[in-house]
């Protein structure tokens, strides 16, 4: 069944109800529910060259959640609201954006994370609309790469009717992430707030599910695409480095949530981080690397098109967005 806004954006972000998991084949390029869910919405698609690769940012959607003391538990709410004001955002609501990426290189079409497909609340489903607008048949995507198993990243592997969204894709998953979420005993050991995510993951990868291959960190999983360890947000959370000729892009996944908060204040911990201490260490390490190497970065939850450069700024960092439409 689809996820409603309240379920998605409650106090615990992992309280997500999964879609039904049957085995119906995919048919139309965009499911009717997804196409009509936000009638009149213009698909968000931003395509840019990176060396000898083409990268397409797909605006999956934006959802708002109340901003209260529970969202960043290790920072005073007054400091959080001051950071929101500095970024010209409202003091009591955080709008969280989702951006998936399609990488085309060497004959491969690789989708990095999936969004919700037609299973999410109103305001989501933009990946499928964007692919259709870009003239890309989802059946032509040969690889789906997952950074981790939170449902805003994996729910789109299946459609609401249970069919495979990307029927010809091999799905590459981090080995440590698979081991954690697919542990048969996790459903009974997990805290209550995690159980809907555990149950949904089991359905997504259950009977009739996608063809899965596990990968290890610090190795190329496709030519020019290397998986880098980034644990903390989840046990197997992974970042990807795309090296395409002279072009380099670090796909930061959920190293940060909104950059105005967590790039500028890397020691703050979002409620989403499963191991806050480890997530902070990972955040510093990868933001340091992106800044020192002057490598372009893409963030799943940054404002669309969710890409730019990281630079040191005082005790934290700044995200300098790319110039929209600049030649690459």
Rounded CA separation 91/114 (Å): 30
Q: What is the pLDDT of residue 328?
A: 56
Contact, 149 vs 177, CB < 8 A? yes
pLDDT at 228: 98
Answer yes or no: is pLDDT of 55 > 60: yes
pLDDT of residue 209: 96
The tokens for 108 are 């491969």
Spell out the domains of the chain, with CATH numbers in brackets.
Answer: 5-321 (3.60.15.10)
Give CA–CA dist 236/221, Å, rounded. 15
Instruction: Look at residue 4 in the predicted model and tell me its pLDDT.
Output: 40
pLDDT for position 323: 83
> Can you give the pLDDT at residue 9?
37
Q: Yes or no: say if 62 and 123 are a contact pair by the CB < 8 Å rule.
A: yes
Residue 326's pLDDT is 65
Average pLDDT score over residue span 47-71: 95
Residue 109: strand, helix, or coil: strand
Asked if residue 118 lies in contact with residue 37, where contact means CB atoms within 8 angstroms, the answer is yes
* CA distance linking residue 202 with residue 291, whole number of Å: 38
Residue 33 has pLDDT above 90, yes or no: no
Q: What's residue 193's pLDDT?
A: 87
- What would the two tokens of residue 284 be? 């510093």
Residue 76, CB-side half-sphere exposure with 13 Å CA sphere: 3
Cα gap 39→16, rounded to integer Å: 24
User: Given pLDDT bands bounded at 50, 70 and 90, which one contains residue 41?
Assistant: low
Please state, for a pLDDT cut of 90, what percent of the chain lies above it. 81
Percent of the chain's residues with pLDDT above 70: 87
CA–CA dist 232, 276 (Å, integer): 6
* CA pair distance 252, 78, nearest whole angstrom: 28
> For the residues of 239-260, what is the DSSP string, one character each?
EEEEEETTEEEEE-TTS-SSHH
**22 pLDDT higher than 70:** no
Closest-CA residue to 209 (of 170, 251, 181): 170
Measured CA to CA, the distance from residue 205 to residue 114 in angstroms comes to 14
């Amino acid at each position: 069944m689809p996820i409603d806004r309240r379920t998605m954006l409650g106090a615990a972000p992992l309280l997500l109800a999964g879609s039904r998991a049957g085995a119906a084949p995919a048919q139309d390029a965009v499911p009717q529910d997804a196409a009509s869910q936000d009638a009149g919405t213009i698909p968000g698609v931003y395509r840019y060259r990176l060396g000898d690769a083409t990268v397409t940012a797909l605006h999956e959607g934006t959802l708002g959640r109340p901003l209260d003391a529970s969202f960043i538990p290790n920072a005073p709410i007054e400091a959080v609201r001051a950071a929101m004001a500095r970024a010209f955002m409202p003091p009591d609501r955080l709008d969280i954006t989702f951006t998936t990426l399609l990488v085309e290189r060497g004959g491969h079409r690789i989708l990095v994370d999936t969004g919700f497909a037609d299973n999410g609340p109103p305001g989501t489903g933009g990946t499928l609309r964007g692919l259709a607008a870009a003239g890309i048949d989802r059946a032509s995507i040969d690889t789906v790469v997952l950074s981790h198993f939170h449902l805003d990243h994996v729910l789109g592997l299946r459609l609401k009717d249970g069919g495979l969204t990307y029927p010809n894709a091999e799905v590459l998953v981090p080995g440590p992430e698979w081991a954690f979420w697919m542990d048969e005993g996790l459903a009974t050991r997990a805290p209550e707030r995690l159980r809907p995510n555990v149950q949904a993951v089991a359905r997504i990868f259950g009977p009739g599910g996608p063809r899965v291959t596990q990968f290890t960190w610090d190795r190329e999983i496709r030519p020019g695409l290397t998986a880098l360890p980034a644990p903390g947000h989840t046990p197997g959370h992974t970042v990807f480095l795309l090296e395409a000729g002279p072009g380099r892009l670090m796909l930061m996944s959920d190293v940060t949530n909104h950059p105005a908060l967590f790039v500028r204040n890397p020691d703050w911990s979002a409620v989403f981080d499963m191991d806050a201490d480890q997530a902070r260490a990972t955040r510093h390490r990868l933001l340091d690397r992106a800044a020192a190497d002057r490598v372009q970065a893409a963030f799943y939850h940054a404002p669309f098109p969710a890409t730019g450069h990281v630079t040191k700024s005082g005790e934290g960092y700044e995200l300098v967005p790319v110039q929209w439409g600049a030649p690459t």
